[in-house]
RNA sequence: UGGGGUGUGGCCAAGCGGUAAGGCAUCGGCCUUUGGAGCCGAGAUUCGGAGGUUCGAAUCCUCCCGCCCCAGCCA
């Protein structure tokens, strides 16, 4: 509830599905699949596809398969299949017993290839990769037929079997579909179906020496699994005629419909596998799960919830137009989710000591504090209050600007859940930096109220100096310093636009005592600052917190507009 | 210059011939023991442009313009 408590929007895919159901197409069944290639970690863009495929299936009481498109052994690895399964599960989706691999179909794919050869729809070609490219023609000129195009069926059959048997070296022959070398669609100019590759496959080992291409494998895999709606991204639009050609020319069980939608783009970050890999390889980030990355693993570590990511995926919609979604929307989805469930706690990130001079020297009181104003069921906790406390450095200004409601000399503020304090004296070090404040408190204001109804403008969070626990806090900011490097006048490498301040590490932060027991998987709101979670780098002595997202900060806006003037 | 797509407020996105949903962001206001949250309100005389059809068009037709994708034995 909460984050996903709204009706799903309309989109063109839902329209197609609903029309299909009305028309009783596929007996009214909806069966989708999420088909990643296990050659990298999943990111938020994949999450969109996962939510779409699994979400649509659930919505129409259908099924969604998880299928690994593992037809290119050189790039793939079990490390990736494991991480992909973990990420899909974490996002909250269940493929039941429908876990498939394209490599499971290698034998059938081979049989189907034989069928194409026998029916004169495919032939073994001896042209080299370079020659094939030359023969393919260009965008504006038609291609030329391969000299092998009219190779007799029996001969292609024989050659193809010998390709499988390992009689030929890598790259010497390929199997090609026989379609139309003059087609305006390059994908129809006798596309390659099989290539010879002496490469060990992460599942089939060395059993195969020939591997089918994606364009040939995908439609057949879909058909074998009884997929009804095969959703993929826009760049495959040009491949659809071939998808249909394969299914039209083979005795497959059904003919799924390929539907293309625009992939997700998010500003201030990178989403391409190549770039993510480069950041990881060059140690520009701390790994695939670096909280600055838009990978699922990174978002998880950052403190994003599966619910917030699902809400985001629903919220961005599905359409065919290329778009760039604002990071602010993702952040909004997290805040909206966490606002309802995150326990409020007090943490002082940049401590400034405050001595309450009229508070009895060794006295300690227990003050009651609510855990979440949005959820009375979350209960309350006790907070120790004593003579020496810490407040946030930002909550004090010796020379306050207009509209600054926080502490300054002679001014009074409320300490959340505690007392009103007034600043009497500012203590500075030799360099003139403020290192301590001497304040007096109003004993009548216990709990944060006074009988005289006097109002204080500001409320600060605080922590008892003697009871606070020391922690490390990691603050994250945008990965890139510009929304979209591709839009910059000068064309530079994307790494030139990495935000140098994307990570700020704060040590010696002071948090309320209860937080020493914080566990991974728990979400907190550090009052007035943002949402935080425990990082796996935490040790028994020093907990490490990640800032998942800041709170909206209207003071920051006021301050900025004052500066702009 | 071949083919395939796509153009609705700053960012997304509904709309499918009957007179521009919604979300994010922004700006006001209310409220508040988080300058949080919440609540209320504001903003496209207009849907890439120009023509046309129609009583009526973002929706239909024509032409033009912009942007994206395609010449891997990658997916």
A37 assigned to active site: yes
Q: What is the DSSP letter of A70?
A: -
Q: How would you write A113-142 as a 3-class SS string? A: HHHHHHCCCEEEECCCHHHHHHHCCCCCCC
Q: What mean pLDDT comes out for the span A510-516?
A: 96
Q: Is the pLDDT of residue A2 over 80?
A: no
- As a rounded value in angstroms, the CA-to-C1' distance for A274 and B66 is 29
Q: Which of A550, A353, A547 is nearest to A462 (CA)?
A: A353
The alpha helices in A119-251, defined as continuous H runs, are 129-135, 153-165, 214-224, 240-248
Does the CB of A182 fall within 7 Å of any strand B atom? no
- As a rounded value in angstroms, the CA-to-C1' distance for A316 and B23 is 8
Active-site residue identified among A25, A197, A273, A340: A273
In tens, the pLDDT along A259-315 reads 999 999 999 999 999 999 999 999 999 999 999 999 999 999 999 999 999 999 999
Q: Is the pLDDT of residue A4 over 60?
A: no
Q: What DSSP element (H or E) covers A20?
A: helix A12-22
Instruction: Please provide the DSSP assignment of A261-294 as one string.
Output: EPPP-BTTS---HHHHHHHHHTTSSSSTT-TTS-
The bases of strand B with some atom under 7 A from any protein CB are 1-8, 10-16, 21-27, 33-38, 67-75
In tens, the pLDDT along A17-41 reads 999 999 999 999 999 999 999 999 9
Buried b (16+ CB within 10 A) or exposed e, A518-552: beeeebbbbbbbbbbbbbeebeeeebbbbbbbbee
Q: Is the pLDDT of residue A520 over 90?
A: yes
In tens, the pLDDT along A117-141 reads 999 999 999 999 999 999 999 999 9
Q: Kindly indicate the confidence band of residue A9, based on its pLDDT and cuts at 50, 70 and 90.
A: low
Nearest residue to B10 via alpha carbon and C1': A326
The alpha helices in A60-128, defined as continuous H runs, are 78-90, 106-118
User: Residue A254: helix, strand or coil by DSSP?
Assistant: coil
Is A31 in contact with A227 (CB distance < 8 Å)? yes
d(CA A540, CA A537): 10
Q: Is the pLDDT of residue A3 over 80?
A: no
A263 assigned to active site: yes
In tens, the pLDDT along A366-382 reads 999 999 999 999 999 99
d(CA A478, CA A525): 20
- As a rounded value in angstroms, the CA-to-C1' distance for A323 and B14 is 16
User: Residue A367: helix, strand or coil by DSSP?
Assistant: strand
Q: What mean pLDDT comes out for the span A323-342?
A: 98
In tens, the pLDDT along A103-120 reads 999 999 999 999 999 999
A565 assigned to active site: no
Does the CB of A562 fall within 7 Å of any strand B atom? no
Does the CB of A368 fall within 7 Å of any strand B atom? no
pLDDT of residue A270: 97
Task: Name the residues in A142-161 having a C-beta closer than 7 Å to nucleic acid strand B.
Answer: none
- As a rounded value in angstroms, the CA-to-C1' distance for A421 and B11 is 44
- As a rounded value in angstroms, the CA-to-C1' distance for A354 and B11 is 44
pLDDT of residue A453: 84
Active-site residue identified among A263, A320, A353, A495: A263
pLDDT of residue A488: 86
pLDDT of residue A511: 98
pLDDT of residue A490: 80
- As a rounded value in angstroms, the CA-to-C1' distance for A235 and B68 is 9
Q: Kindly indicate the confidence band of residue A491, based on its pLDDT and cuts at 50, 70 and 90.
A: confident
* Bridge partners (DSSP) listed for residue A472: A544
Domain ranges within chain A, ordered by starting residue:
3-266, 347-468
Q: Kindly indicate the confidence band of residue A411, based on its pLDDT and cuts at 50, 70 and 90.
A: very high
Q: Is the pLDDT of residue A214 over 90?
A: yes
Nucleotide nearest to A400 (CA to C1'): B35
- As a rounded value in angstroms, the CA-to-C1' distance for A260 and B7 is 18
In tens, the pLDDT along A415-468 reads 999 999 999 999 999 999 999 999 999 999 999 999 998 889 999 999 999 999
Structure tokens given for A454: 């006097």
Nucleotide nearest to A273 (CA to C1'): B75
Task: Name the residues in A442-481 having a C-beta closer than 7 Å to nucleic acid strand B.
Answer: 447-449, 458-459
In tens, the pLDDT along A167-191 reads 999 999 999 999 999 999 999 999 9
* Residue-level length of chain A: 565
Q: Kindly indicate the confidence band of residue A1, based on its pLDDT and cuts at 50, 70 and 90.
A: very low
Nucleotide nearest to A556 (CA to C1'): B35
- Select A347-468's CATH number: 3.40.50.2300, 2.40.240.10, 1.10.3720.10, 2.60.40.10: 2.40.240.10
pLDDT of residue A5: 31
- As a rounded value in angstroms, the CA-to-C1' distance for A233 and B73 is 23
Nucleotide nearest to A405 (CA to C1'): B35
In tens, the pLDDT along A395-408 reads 999 999 999 999 99
d(CA A198, CA A168): 10
pLDDT of residue A489: 80
Does the CB of A336 fall within 7 Å of any strand B atom? yes
Does the CB of A403 fall within 7 Å of any strand B atom? yes
- Select A3-266's CATH number: 3.20.20.70, 3.40.50.300, 3.40.50.1370, 3.40.50.620: 3.40.50.620
Q: Kindly indicate the confidence band of residue A8, based on its pLDDT and cuts at 50, 70 and 90.
A: low
pLDDT of residue A6: 37
């Amino acid at each position: 509830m909460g984050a996903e408590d709204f009706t799903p929007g309309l989109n063109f895919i839902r329209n197609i599905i609903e029309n299909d159901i009305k028309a009783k197409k596929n007996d009214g069944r909806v069966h989708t699949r999420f088909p990643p290639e296990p050659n990298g970690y999943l990111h938020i863009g994949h999450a969109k596809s996962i939510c779409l495929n699994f979400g649509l299936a659930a919505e129409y009481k259908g099924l969604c398969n998880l299928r690994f498109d593992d037809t290119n052994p050189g790039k793939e690895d079990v490390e990736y299949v494991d991480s992909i399964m973990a990420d899909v599960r974490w996002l909250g989706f269940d493929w039941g017993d429908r876990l498939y691999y394209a490599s499971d179909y290698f034998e059938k794919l081979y049989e189907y290839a034989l069928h194409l050869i026998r029916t004169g729809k495919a032939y073994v070609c001896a042209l080299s990769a370079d020659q094939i490219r030359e023969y393919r023609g260009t965008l504006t000129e038609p291609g030329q037929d391969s000299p092998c195009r009219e190779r007799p069926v029996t001969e292609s059959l024989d050659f193809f079997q010998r390709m499988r048997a390992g009689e030929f070296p890598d790259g010497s022959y390929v199997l090609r579909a026989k379609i139309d070398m003059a087609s305006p669609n390059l994908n129809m100019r006798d596309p390659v179906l099989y290539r010879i590759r002496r490469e060990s496959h992460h599942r089939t080992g060395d059993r195969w020496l020939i591997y089918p291409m994606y364009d040939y494998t995908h439609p057949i895999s879909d058909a074998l699994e009884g997929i009804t709606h095969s959703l993929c991204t826009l760049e495959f639009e040009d491949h659809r005629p071939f998808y249909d050609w394969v299914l039209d020319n083979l005795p497959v069980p059904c003919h799924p419909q390929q539907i293309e939608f625009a992939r997700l783009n998010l500003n201030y970050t990178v989403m391409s596998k190549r770039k993510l890999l480069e950041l990881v390889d060059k140690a520009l980030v701390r790994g695939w799960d670096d909280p600055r990355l838009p990978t699922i693993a990174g978002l998880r570590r950052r403190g994003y919830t599966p619910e917030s990511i699902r809400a985001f995926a629903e919220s961005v919609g599905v359409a065919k137009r290329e778009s760039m979604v604002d990071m602010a929307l993702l952040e909004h989805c997290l805040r909206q989710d966490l606002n309802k469930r995150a326990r409020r706690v007090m943490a002082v990130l940049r401590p400034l000591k405050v001595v309450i001079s009229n508070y009895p020297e060794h006295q300690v009181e227990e003050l009651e504090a609510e855990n979440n104003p949005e959820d009375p069921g979350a209960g309350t906790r006790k907070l120790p209050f004593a003579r020496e406390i810490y407040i946030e450095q930002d909550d004090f200004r010796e020379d306050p600007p207009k509209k600054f409601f926080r502490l300054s000399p002679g001014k009074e503020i409320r300490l959340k859940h505690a007392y009103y304090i007034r600043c009497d004296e500012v203590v500075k070090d030799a360099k003139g930096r403020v290192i301590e404040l001497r304040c007096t408190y109003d004993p009548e204001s216990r709990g944060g109220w006074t009988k005289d109804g006097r109002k204080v403008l500001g409320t600060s969070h605080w922590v008892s100096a003697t009871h606070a626990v020391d922690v490390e806090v990691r603050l994250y900011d945008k990965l890139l310093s510009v929304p979209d490097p591709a839009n910059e006048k000068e064309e530079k490498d994307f790494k030139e636009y990495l935000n140098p301040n994307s990570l700020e590490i704060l040590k010696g932060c002071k948090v309320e005592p209860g937080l020493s027991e914080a566990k991974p998987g728990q979400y907190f709101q550090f009052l007035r600052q943002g949402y935080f979670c425990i990082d796996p780098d935490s040790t028994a002595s020093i907990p490490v917190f990640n800032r998942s997202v800041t709170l909206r900060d209207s003071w920051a806006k006021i301050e900025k507009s004052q500066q702009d003037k």
